[in-house]
Structures are given as structure tokens and as C-alpha cells.
Structure 1
């Protein structure tokens, strides 16, 4: 027997109850969590590889639709939605708007959208001084660059 700092005898070779009850090795709960984590990781990697290999490049298809018109101080704000329905993302998309009558174009306005990913939508607005409700409004994409 050995003596501890208080001078009392301490039996050697005796383990605590907690240490004796614990079994060495990996528990079943740890194996289950590891299995679920591996399955999730493999699923994500498989999805990314399949999506990367099968995604169509195609061409961008920008469709511009007016959402609403708000009159202001000597101006009219025409809000629009630009959707890229194609299989390729584009950047610096120029959206043009024209107000037309029987004689031709009355007024033009344009704005540039920084980025429009494939299969997504972006919103913006064009500003006119003439009333769009009194003219024929034409909205369209005028150009873009590849990111």
C-alpha cells in the first residue's frame, strides 16, 4: 500500500467504477453516426458529379416581362422581371425598353443587370418621362457577356 498526501493508506490496483464499466473501442452510436455521415457525403458528391456532367450548356434565353408601372414626379418607373430560361448563365445583361406609337420610337431607356444565372430571375426597373400607358411598351434583352 502507498500513502497519499494526507498520510492515509490507498489500495493499489483498484480501478474506479466508471472506468471498469466503460468498454474500450467504438460504440454502436458512433458507428451509426459515421455511416449516416458517409452516406450523406457520397450522395452529395454523386449529385454534383452527375449534375456537372449532364448539365446542358445551351444558350441563354432572356425573357423580359413588365411587372408594374408607378408614376412619380415627371417620370414613370416600369418594373420588370428578367428570366433566364436557358442552360447558360450570363453577365452584364442589357435590358432595353422602348415606348412606341404609330410614328415610331417615342422614348428609350436601358439598364444593365450584373448577373443572371441559368434557370433564374432578376428584377429591375426602367425610368421613362413619357407615360407608358399611353404608348406601346416593348421590353427586351439587348446583349450580354459570358461570365
Structure 2
């Protein structure tokens, strides 16, 4: 399964590079796992912007794409298949003032909490073991002392 973080941060966010490394590591962890046939990838948009820019970054409802869908943008074409995309917003002042370790813990906590907001889309995704996915995500965070 593909699991990745798409990061949108204001320029003044000091811990953004830590989250990029975190995203790469979590992607490797889930690459060898499978939870069913209806969901092959999850992309979580992590948004942390200064209050001046918050109005431009509203959190959208989760989007589930069943089957293959091709997108083209100028010279770039890409395909997604059985994909779930959703966003979560971090508290700017809390994240900005956190240490590197605290930043990882904030993201871990918010990722776990975000799974509880997916009830509407979970009904559309029949063949996916949400419980096992949550357990594996929690184990990943526990192994790294993030929860």
C-alpha cells in the first residue's frame, strides 16, 4: 500500500523538513503492507500555514477515487488508482514553537485522530481492513516513541 504525506507549510515553519523525512519513512513502512483490494493508496495533506494564509487553505472533504483515473497537466500525466485523499490542518503556533521530536508527535497524534473523521468515506471502501491499518499506524508510532 502507498501511504504518503503531501505537505503545505508557510515559509516560516521551521520543522517542515522533519516532516518530509517523516513522510519518506512512513511511506517505506507501509509499502510492503496490504489491507484489501479497494484502497491502494492514501495521501494525507498536512497543512500548517500562518494565520495570514489560513483563509486560502480550507480543509476539503475526503475524496475517494475508485478504479483508475488519469490526470494531465501540461506535459505531465499521472494515474491514480483506488486512492483516498484528505487533509488535516496543524495548529500553526503549536507546531512552529515545537522541537523536532514534538513536531513528529504532533503529526502522529493528528494522523491518528484524522482516521476518526473518515466515516463517510469508509462506507464507500468495502474491501479494506481499517482496524488493521489503524493498528499498524499506531505500532509504527509506538516503535518510534511518538505516542
TM-score (norm 2): 0.26
Bigger strand share: 1
Determine which structure has greater relative contact order: mean sequence separation of CA pairs < 8 Å that are 6+ residues apart, divided by chain length: 2
Larger radius of gyration: 1
Bigger helix share: 2
